[in-house]
Amino acid sequence: MKRIICLIVIICSITQPPVLFGQDRQLPLDSIIKKLGEKFITDKQAVGLSIGVYTNDNAYFYNFGSIQKGKMILPSQNTVYEIGSITKTFVSLVLANAVLERKVNVDDDIRKYLKESYPNLEYDGVPIKLIHLANTTSLLPDWLPELPTEMKNLSADSALLLKINYYNKLTRKDFFKALHSVKLDTIPGTKRYHSNAAAQLLAYILEDIYKMPMEKLIKKYITAPYKMNGTSFINSKNMELTATGYTTSGNEARYEFVMPYFKNAGGLGSTTSNLVNYIKLYLDTSNQAASFCLKKTVDIDASSGKITKMRPDNTATPDVYSVALSWFKYQPSVSSSQIWADGGTTGFNSYLVIYPLLNSGVVVLANKSDENIFRALPGIAYEISKVIEKK
């Protein structure tokens, strides 16, 4: 997922509201979401769109388009979409529970939990810590082993087939073998870099600690207690309620479950109904694990992308965004703040945002992977938040 692009888009959508939607802000919630959804389907050439809104202790759901091209099958709040890197927030919530249970400390050297010796996982005497795996500062490569160089000049669809063929042959053993080849070029924790490999490693460590697969850990700590039965790792047996995803070129996508090697970095499927429950979980300030996940760990200069001096919590910092544990935070003014995560797969885009000062949140799911769609989802959520704010 192109996190850096997303961060720029989100910040711009807050500081410079999209002109296309600006004129509709005074309309009631239902009216504006209808206009936003219909415009999205028409202008972005999307297939389907599902929106979930939580505000004033109520949940609202809106659906547009179809779950499959050529068929008018309206999605619902129970339609399953791949949620890509939003999966990482689930893994981080498991980590938070491990911290509260005193099984780990986020400042632990990750090598404490690895079975082999990895002298390469430090720089200038500073090791990669658990917190670095969750806050995008581990400096591990995005893919491990890294993608074959021959993919660089291929079309997106051709590259995808090569990627599937390459990674389908790999196992957890191959991951830890490749981990020996990592060469850090700066101190961990001092630079932000998106890494699917870091998310994989964090999941492997947690699985070893609990002696339980991640899917069971997510069920134990999240989906079972918070009534999210529609959320799980997608596989060939639970496709009945899953929307069909489409690539940028419009071809039917291969689902992420065809690459189980990466499932902990982005393999979950979920619904707007379930993700509204997920929003409520994080809005509950008495939930210690959720609060731990949302505590910022580093501040990033929005213009340069470099880690900067940490600002006090709950202060207006329009030139800075923060990284928590698999979440991003932005507070441009004392009366406006948001916490978000996004996801993208070969056939889906997703965006989930929490507005703590409004006690509200929005989730937007689309079953086509496209740059225009990726950029549009935060703008839709922003326009909805302005209506909520005026209530």
Mean pLDDT along residues 183-201: 96
SS3 call for 244: coil
The helix-helix angle for 29-43 and 371-390 (nearest 10°) equals 170
Query: What Rg do the C-alpha atoms of the chain give, in angstroms?
Result: 20
SS (H, E, C) 328-350: EEEEEECCEEEEEEEEECCCCEE
- In the CATH scheme, what is the code of domain 3-390? 3.40.710.10
Instruction: Tell me the whole-structure pTM to 2 decimals.
Output: 0.92
Tens digit of pLDDT for each residue in 200-216? 999 999 999 999 999 99
SS3 call for 223: helix
SS3 call for 216: helix
Tell me the pLDDT band of 189, cut-offs 50, 70 and 90. Answer: very high
Least confident of 23-27, 187-191, 321-325: 23-27
- Whether residue 96 is predicted with pLDDT greater than 50 in this model: the reply is yes
CA-angle at 48, arms to 83 and 21, nearest 5°:
95
CA dihedral for 222, 323, 387, 284, sign (positive or negative): positive
At 192, list the tokens: 């932000």
pLDDT at 256: 64
Mean pLDDT along residues 230-250: 87
**Cβ atoms of 175 and 144 closer than 8 Å:** yes
Other C-beta atoms within 10 Å of 23: how many?
Answer: 9
Mean pLDDT in the chain? 89
**Structure letter (DSSP) for residue 358:** G
At 226, list the tokens: 């918070």
In angstroms, rounded to a whole number, what is the distance separating the alpha carbons of residues 111 and 121? 8
At 359, list the tokens: 């006690």
At 315, list the tokens: 């202060």
Element containing residue 48 per DSSP (H, E) = strand 48-55
**CA 51 to chain CA centroid, nearest Å:** 16
- Non-local (6+) Cβ contacts of 140 within 8 A are 128, 133, 182, 195, 197, 198, 201
Mean pLDDT along residues 135-160: 83
SS3 call for 321: strand
Residue 332 is which amino acid? P
Long-range CB contacts (< 8 A, 24+ apart) of 254-259? 254/160, 254/164, 254/346, 254/347, 255/82, 255/345, 255/347, 256/82, 256/84, 256/345, 256/346, 257/233, 258/164, 258/168, 259/163, 259/164, 259/167, 259/168
At 311, list the tokens: 């600002």
pLDDT at 4: 44
At 322, list the tokens: 């923060």
At 376, list the tokens: 């549009």
- Whether residue 15 is predicted with pLDDT greater than 50 in this model: the reply is no
Provide φ and ψ at 321, rounded to 5°. -120, 160
Tell me the pLDDT band of 161, cut-offs 50, 70 and 90. Answer: confident
In angstroms, rounded to a whole number, what is the distance separating the alpha carbons of residues 140 and 133? 8
Provide φ and ψ at 250, rounded to 5°. 95, 0
**Cβ atoms of 338 and 17 closer than 8 Å:** no
Tens digit of pLDDT for each residue in 348-381? 999 999 999 999 999 999 999 989 999 999 999 9
**CA 203 to chain CA centroid, nearest Å:** 15
